[in-house]
Amino acid sequence: MPRRNPAIPKTSHDIAPETTGPQRECALSRETHAKADLIRFVRDPAGRVVPDIAERLPGRGVWVSASREAVSAAAAKGIFPRRFKASVTVPPDLADDVERLLVERCVGLVGLARRSGNLVTGFDQVRAALRKAPPGWLIEASDGAQDGRNKVYSLAKALYGRVRIAGALTSGELGMAIGRARVIHALLQAGPLADSWTVAYERLKGFRLSPEEQWFSAGDL
């Protein structure tokens, strides 16, 4: 009988929001949140509002909660010119731009994990890795088959209880990260890269459907 490990973190929506570390005010709600729960925007030299996912671009930053609704509302209500104190051009598809950049960030982290030896791909390989150590994240393609996905998750649950699982990326997006046409099953090993993935993926969930919350019952997650 496999031994359960009660110390394994739960799925992403079971984890308490970050309450320590740098915080910023959401320009829309005026509420203060951890930076990980917000998206930074800057005004580029042409006066265009652009997302700064990596938080490295120069200039004044305007922070908005990491959700499609918040970004769209901030654009519609004229928040950006008021906060930048300058005329700006707000792209009509600004929320789509954020989603695209967050997908790129998640895909980039998967590729980095592969190059550093912290990623396992393939149905049999992921199941074998689960038997050796608890995962940082299970990553399942949104267009993967239910049967295989359920078998992977059932094994993880039997071994460790609740685990974190991400399902918002397609098999093509996951494949792009490692130079393949498609990837269905992946395991991101626990460590700093998994921590970075957590921030990126939690932000992405505000802009794209996260089907893992429909795949499994609330009791399982």
Give 8's pLDDT tier (boundaries 50, 70, 90).
very low
Give 221's pLDDT tier (boundaries 50, 70, 90).
low
- Tokens 């925007």 correspond to 41
Per CATH, the number for 99-215 is: 3.30.1330.30
3-class state of residue 160 by DSSP: helix
Considering the entire predicted model, what is its pTM?
0.88
Residue 15: per-residue pLDDT: 34
Average pLDDT value for the chain? 91
* Rounded Cα–Cα distance for residues 91 and 94 (Å): 5
Crossing angle of helices 192-204/94-115, nearest 10°? 160
In the chain, which segments carry CATH 3.30.1330.30?
Answer: 99-215
Residue 216: per-residue pLDDT: 83
3-class state of residue 8 by DSSP: coil
- Cβ atoms of 200 and 102 closer than 8 Å: yes
**Average pLDDT for residues 132-155, to the nearest whole number?**
97
Q: pLDDT digits over 173-217, tens only?
A: 999 999 999 999 999 999 999 999 999 999 999 999 999 989 986
Q: pLDDT digits over 78-105, tens only?
A: 999 999 999 999 999 999 999 999 999 9
In the chain, which segments carry CATH 3.30.1230.10?
Answer: 23-92
Most confident of 1-5, 20-24, 46-50: 46-50
Check pLDDT > 60 for residue 53: yes
Which CATH number is 23-92's, of 3.40.30.10, 3.40.50.720, 3.40.50.300, 3.30.1230.10?
Answer: 3.30.1230.10
Give 6's pLDDT tier (boundaries 50, 70, 90).
very low
Alpha carbon separation from 45 to 19, 58, 86 (Å, rounded): 34, 10, 12
Residue 13: per-residue pLDDT: 34
* pLDDT top residue among 220 and 35: 35
Tell me the percentage of the chain whose pLDDT exceeds 90.
Answer: 86
Residue 192: per-residue pLDDT: 96
**Average pLDDT for residues 56-68, to the nearest whole number?**
97
* Rounded Cα–Cα distance for residues 189 and 140 (Å): 14
HSE-up (13 A, CA, CB side) for residue 65: 14
Strand order of the β-sheet with 185-189 is 119-121, 185-189, 135-140, 165-166
Buried b (16+ CB within 10 A) or exposed e, 138-167: bbbbbebeeebbeebbebbbebbeebbbbb
Q: pLDDT digits over 145-162, tens only?
A: 999 999 999 999 999 998
Q: What share of the chain is helix, strand, coil (3-state, %, to 5)?
A: 40, 15, 40
